[in-house]
Amino acid sequence: MDRAQKSELVEELNGTFAATGVVVVTLNKGMTVKQSTDLRNKMREAGASYQVAKNRLAKIAIQGTPYASIGTMLSGPTGLAYSNDPVAAAKVAADFAKTTDKFEIVGGAMGETVLDPAGVTALASLPSLDELRAKIVGLIQAPATKLAQIAQAPAAQLARVFGAYAAKEDA
């Protein structure tokens, strides 16, 4: 890479770090191309991204962002997983780390909060943003459904009483 390409990469990474919800730092110990492609595809499906960048350039890029504290984690063959959803990148990284011993979670950050590997794993166990939205919609709809059932119950009881009187008169 020449100097202009490095500068462009640093600016791109800086913009990414400024706008993202979570960053997970991983250690790649000789992953194959197929494994890397599989990881990137899984990240993309979850709404996250995975990028391998030179540590020196990544350290320059995190300056002035909430993720400046992860600079100490950037050593060795690292990769960065990030997403706007605080759970997506952590969930995919934790699931992928279970399938191969060539991929390890070093830590991460959620804003200015630094996470160790156990913190990233705990974050991965939380429900995603879409799952939380679905639960909230379900909780909001449940009282409305119950209210409709309660409102219909007296009318149904009255209909049964009238039906019983009609049957009694016919008999």
Cβ 85 vs Cβ 128: under 8 Å: yes
Average pLDDT over residues 154-163: 73
Q: Is residue 87 predicted with pLDDT exceeding 80?
A: yes
Percentages (nearest 5) of helix, strand, coil residues in the chain: 60, 15, 20
Amino acid occupying residue 94: A
Residue 156 has pLDDT above 80, yes or no: no
Q: How would residue 170 be classed by pLDDT, with cut points 50, 70 and 90?
A: confident
pLDDT, tens only, 11-60: 888 888 888 888 999 998 888 899 999 999 999 998 899 998 888 988 89
Answering whether pTM is above 0.75, one says: no
For 114-150, how does the pLDDT look when each residue is reduced to its tens digit (9 = 90+)? 888 988 888 888 877 777 778 888 777 777 676 666 6
